[in-house]
Amino acid sequence: MFADIALAVTSCGTAAATLYAHHLHRRLHTDPLTGLPNRTALYRALHRAQRRPGPARQVGLLLADVDRFKLINDTHGHRTGDAVLTSIAAVLASECRHEEIPIRLHGDEFAVLLTSVRGPAEVEQRASELRTQLAATHRIHGLPLAVTVSLGGTAAPARGATPSSLLARADEQMYGDKNARPVTTLPTAAPVARRRDLPREAA
C-alpha cells in the first residue's frame, strides 16, 4: 500500500516537474506580447538548422521593422502600438511556410528565419512577398490603420552562419530598403484611435 502511495506521489511530482519545465521553456523562448518565438529561439533554431544531416544547404534571414512606429505610438497611443505589433505578428504567423520561423526580436523589429533556401534570390522573393502581405490596412480596435514595413534579407551557408553575422547583413539590407523608397504612414483613424486610447491610459 505504502509503495503504491509512494509511486503515486513520485509520478505526480515527475508530472509537475515536467509541466513546470515546459512552462519555463516556453517563457524563455516566447515573446510575451505577440506569442512569437523570441531572439533566444532564433539562436536555437539556427543551431538546429546547422546540425541537419544531408547536403550543404543555405539559411536565410529576413529582418523587418515598422515604418514610423514611434509616430504611431505618439499619435494613436501605446495600446494601439501594441495592437499593431500583434497584428503584424499574426500576419507573419499565418503567412510563414513550413520551414520558416517568424520571430519578434524586440520593439517593432521582427525576423523570419528561412531554415532551408536555395540562395539569395529565394530570400529576395520571400522578402518581396512578405513586405506586400504586411503592408496592409490593419484593423486596430475595429478601425483601419495603414501600416508599412521596411524589410531586407540575406542568405548564407548554414554551417558557416552565425546569428550576429546574419542579423548584421539583414539589418543592412533592411535599411537599404527603408532608404530606397518613400516611407509614409496614413493615419486614417488617428483622431478616433487616440480618443479611444486616452481614457484607458488615464485609468
Per-residue model confidence (pLDDT) at position 109:
96
pLDDT at 131 over 70: yes
Let me know if 177 is a catalytic residue: no
Query: Which band of pLDDT confidence, cut at 50, 70 and 90, is reported for residue 185?
Result: very low
Q: pLDDT tens, 15-66? A: 666 655 555 556 678 999 999 999 999 999 988 888 876 676 889 999 999 9
Cα-based angle 96, 87, 73 (whole degrees, multiple of 5): 135
What the block records as the C-alpha cell of 56 is 550543404
Which stretches does DSSP call E strand in the chain?
58-66, 100-106, 109-117, 137-140, 143-146, 149-157
Full-model pTM? 0.77
Q: What is the mean pLDDT of the chain?
A: 81
Residue of 31, 65, 108, 197 marked catalytic: 108
Share of the chain above pLDDT 90, in %: 51
Instruction: Say if residue 9's pLDDT is above 70.
Output: no
